[in-house]
Amino acid sequence: MIEKALWLYYAAQSDQTPTWAKTVIYGALGYFILPIDIIPDITPVIGYVDDFGALSAVIATIYIYIDENVKILASQKLKDWFSE
C-alpha cells in the first residue's frame, strides 16, 4: 500500500499531471494519513480496507499520469526506506 501511495505522491509532483488530478491525489493521500477514517485503522486488518479502497479508486482515475518515471521514483524511495 505504501508503494501505491508513493505512486500518487510522485504523480502529483509531475508537471504532466493536471491540477484536477493533483487535487484528487492530495485528497486521497490526506485521507490515507489522517487518523479520522470511516473504519478506524486500529481495527486489525479491516481498518486499512477503506484506505486501500480510496488509494485504488484514485489510481484507477489518474493511472494515465503514473508513468514509468513515477514508478521508478517510488521504487527507489521504498529501497531507501526499507533496505538493510
Checking if the pLDDT of 44 tops 80, the result is no
CA atoms within 13 A on the CB side of 38: 9
Counting every residue written for the chain, the total comes to 84
| Structural domain for 42, as ranges | 2-82
| pLDDT given for residue 38 in this prediction | 67
Report the distance separating Cα 34 and Cα 47, nearest Å.
Answer: 13
Report the distance separating Cα 66 and Cα 16, nearest Å.
Answer: 10
| pLDDT given for residue 49 in this prediction | 82
Number of domains observed in the structure of the chain: 1
Checking if the pLDDT of 63 tops 80, the result is yes
Query: How would residue 59 be classed by pLDDT, with cut points 50, 70 and 90?
Result: very high
| pLDDT given for residue 42 in this prediction | 67
Cβ atoms 68, 18 nearer than 8 A? no
Q: Residues 18-41: what's their mean pLDDT?
A: 86
Helical segments of the chain, H only: 2-13, 19-33, 49-62, 68-82
Q: Residues 2-15: what's their mean pLDDT?
A: 95
